[in-house]
Amino acid sequence: MLKRPLAFRGGIRLAHHKYESAHSPIASAPLPERLILPLRQSAGRAPEPIVREGDRVKKGDRIAAAEEWISASLHAPTSGTVRAIGPFPVAHPSGLSAPAIVIEADGADEWGEKTPLLDSPARSAANRAALSPEETQRFLQNMGVVGLGGAVFPSHVKLSRAPNTPLQTLIINGAECEPFITCDDRLMRERADDVISGTLFLRDLLEVKETLIAVENNKPEAADALRAALARADAAREIRDVAVMELPAIYPAGSIKQLIFALTGKRAPAHVLPTALGVQCFNAATVYCVWRAVAHGEPVTHRVVTLTGNVEHPGNMEVPLGMPMGQLLALARPRPETDACIVGGPMMGFLLTDERAPVVKGSNCLIARSDAFFPPLEPETSCIRCTSCAQVCPQGLQPYELYWWSRAKNSEKAARYQLMECIECGCCAYVCPAHIPLVQYFRFAKGEVRAAEKAQDMAARAKERFEFRQLRAEREKAERAEKLARAAALQAEKLALAAVTDTDSPANAQTPTTENAP
Amino acid sequence: MIPLSSPYLRRSNSTRRIMRLVLLSLLPGIAVYAALIGPALLIQILLASLAALGFEFAVFFLRKRPARAALTDHSALVSAWLIALTFPPLSPWWLTITGVFFAIVITKQLYGGLGQNPFNPAMVAFAVCIIAFPALMSQWPAMSLSLSLPEQLELIFGFAPRLDALTSATPLDVIKTVLQKTAGITHGTVQELLMSQNLYGTFAGRGWEWVATAYLVGGVFLLIMGVITWHVPLAFIASMTLIALVFWIIDPSRFSAPLFHLFSGGSMLGAFFIATDPVSGCATPRGKIIFGIGAGLLAYLIRVFGVFPDGIAFSILLMNLCAPLLDSMSQPAVFGSRPQVRVPGEKTP
Ligand code: SF4
Ligand code: SF4
Q: CA nearest A427 in B: which residue?
A: B7
- Average pLDDT on B95-107 reads 94
DSSP reduced 3-state for A301: coil
Work out whether strand A27-28 and strand A315-320 pair parallel, antiparallel, or are unpaired. Answer: parallel
Question: pLDDT per residue over A225-264, tens digit each?
Answer: 999 999 988 877 777 889 999 999 999 998 988 999 999 8
Residue B340 has pLDDT above 80, yes or no: no
- Average pLDDT on B34-50 reads 91
Question: pLDDT per residue over B145-179, tens digit each?
Answer: 667 777 777 777 776 556 555 666 677 777 776 66
DSSP A5: P
pLDDT at A479: 81
The model's pTM = 0.85
DSSP A188: H
Among the partner-chain residues A269, A369, A382, the one whose CB lies closest to the CB of B336 is A269
Region of residue A278 (phi > 0: left; psi between -120 and 50: alpha; otherwise: beta): left
Ligand 2 geometric centre to CA of A509 (Å) = 88
- Average pLDDT on A276-287 reads 91
Which residue, by CA, sits nearest to atom 2 of ligand 2?
A422
pLDDT band for B348, please (50, 70, 90 cuts). very low
- Average pLDDT on A67-90 reads 92
Question: pLDDT per residue over A86-113, tens digit each?
Answer: 999 888 877 778 899 999 999 888 888 8
pLDDT at A115: 84
**A12 vs B2, higher pLDDT:** A12
User: So where are chain B's domains?
Assistant: 12-168, 169-327
C-alpha–C-alpha distance, residues A512 and A516, integer Å: 9
Residues with Cβ within 8 Å of residue B314, at least 6 apart in sequence = B127, B298, B302, B306, B308
Find the Cα–Cα–Cα–Cα dihedral B164, B165, B171, B177, rounded to 10°. Answer: 60
pLDDT band for A83, please (50, 70, 90 cuts). very high
DSSP reduced 3-state for A405: helix
Closest CA to A181 of A97, A77, A253: A253
Q: Using CB atoms within 10 Å of the CB of residue A91, give its burial: 0 to 12 exposed, 13 to 18 middle, 19+ buried.
A: buried
C-alpha–C-alpha distance, residues B107 and A248, integer Å: 45
C-alpha–C-alpha distance, residues A437 and A251, integer Å: 18
Residue B45 has pLDDT above 90, yes or no: yes
Interface subset of B 104-123, CB within 8 angstroms of A = 113-116
Among the partner-chain residues B113, B229, B347, the one whose CB lies closest to the CB of A382 is B113
Q: DSSP characters for A113-164?
A: ----SS-SHHHHTGGGGGS-HHHHHHHHHHTT-B-TTTT--BGGGGGSPPSS
| Range name among A31-40, A504-513, B89-98, B191-200 with the lowest pLDDT average | A504-513
pLDDT at A276: 81
DSSP reduced 3-state for A224: helix
Q: CA nearest B7 in A: which residue?
A: A347
Instruction: Confirm if A446 and A487 have CB atoms less than 8 A apart.
Output: no
Bridge partners of A242, per DSSP, are: A211
The length of chain B, given as a count of residues: 349
pLDDT at B182: 52
pLDDT at B129: 93
Which residue, by CA, sits nearest to atom 5 of ligand 1?
A385
pLDDT at A503: 46
pLDDT at B161: 59
Q: DSSP characters for A42-70?
A: SSSPPPEE---TT-EE-BT-EEEE--SSS
Contact list, A388 vs chain B (CB under 8 Å)? 13, 226
- What's the one-letter identity of residue A236? A
Instruction: Confirm if A183 and A284 have CB atoms less than 8 A apart.
Output: no
pLDDT at A123: 56
pLDDT band for B48, please (50, 70, 90 cuts). very high
Residue A515 has pLDDT above 50, yes or no: no
pLDDT at B346: 41
| Range name among A85-89, B66-70, B265-269 with the lowest pLDDT average | B66-70
**A23 vs A496, higher pLDDT:** A23
- Average pLDDT on B99-123 reads 92
Helix (H) or strand (E) holding A451: helix A438-504
Question: pLDDT per residue over A284-332, tens digit each?
Answer: 999 999 999 998 999 999 999 999 999 999 999 999 999 999 999 999 9
pLDDT at B144: 61
**A410 vs B219, higher pLDDT:** B219
Q: Do B9 and A383 touch (CB under 8 A)?
A: no
Residue A215 has pLDDT above 90, yes or no: yes
Residue A505 has pLDDT above 50, yes or no: no
pLDDT at B246: 95
What is the ipTM for the molecules in this complex?
Answer: 0.85
DSSP A376: P
CA angle at A297 for the pair A295 and A302, rounded to the nearest 5°: 110
Ligand 1 geometric centre to CA of B67 (Å) = 21
- Average pLDDT on A266-288 reads 86
Residue B279 has pLDDT above 50, yes or no: yes
Contact list, A270 vs chain B (CB under 8 Å)? 334, 336-337
Handedness of CA A256, A262, A266, A270 (dihedral sign): positive
Residue A496 has pLDDT above 70, yes or no: no
Question: Residue by residue, what is the 3-state secondary structure of chain B?
Answer: CCCCCCCCCCCCCCHHHHHHHHHHHHHHHHHHHHHHHCCHHHHHHHHHHHHHHHHHHHHHHHCCCCCHHHHHCCHHHHHHHHHHHHCCCCCCHHHHHHHHHHHHHHHHHCCCCCCCCCCCHHHHHHHHHHHHCCCHHHCCECCCCCCCHHHHHHHHHCCCCCCHHHECCCHHHHHHHHHHCCCCCCCCCHHHHHHHCCCECCCCECCHHHHHHHHHHHHHHHHHCCCCCCHHHHHHHHHHHHHHHHHHHHCCCCCCCHHHHHCCCCHHHHHHHHCCCCCCCCCCHHHHHHHHHHHHHHHHHHHHHCCCCCCHHHHHHHHHHHHHHHHHHCCCCCCCCCCCCCCCCCCCC
Of these ranges, A164-173, B1-10, B124-133, the one predicted with the greatest mean pLDDT is B124-133
* CA gyration radius, chain B: 21
pLDDT at A509: 40
DSSP A353: -
Residue B343 has pLDDT above 70, yes or no: no
Which of A369, A377, A387, A425 to substitute to test the interface with B, most B CBs within 10 Å? A387
pLDDT at A121: 56
pLDDT-above-90 percentage for chain A: 53
Neighbours of A3 (CB within 10 A): 6
Contact list, B78 vs chain A (CB under 8 Å)? none
Q: What's the mean pLDDT when you consider all of chain A? A: 86
Q: CA nearest A372 in B: which residue?
A: B9
Of these ranges, A317-326, A413-422, A484-493, B337-346, the one predicted with the greatest mean pLDDT is A317-326
Q: Do B2 and A257 touch (CB under 8 A)?
A: no
C-alpha–C-alpha distance, residues A425 and A12, integer Å: 10
pLDDT-above-70 percentage for chain A: 92
pLDDT at B293: 96
C-alpha–C-alpha distance, residues A201 and A207, integer Å: 10
pLDDT at B214: 96
C-alpha–C-alpha distance, residues A379 and A388, integer Å: 18
- Chain centroid to Cα A498, Å, comes to 75
C-alpha distances out from residue A473 to A88, A264, A467, A482, Å: 49, 55, 10, 14
Question: pLDDT per residue over B81-97, tens digit each?
Answer: 999 999 988 888 999 99
Region of residue A470 (phi > 0: left; psi between -120 and 50: alpha; otherwise: beta): alpha
**A201 vs B308, higher pLDDT:** A201
Bridge partners of A316, per DSSP, are: A306
DSSP reduced 3-state for A330: helix
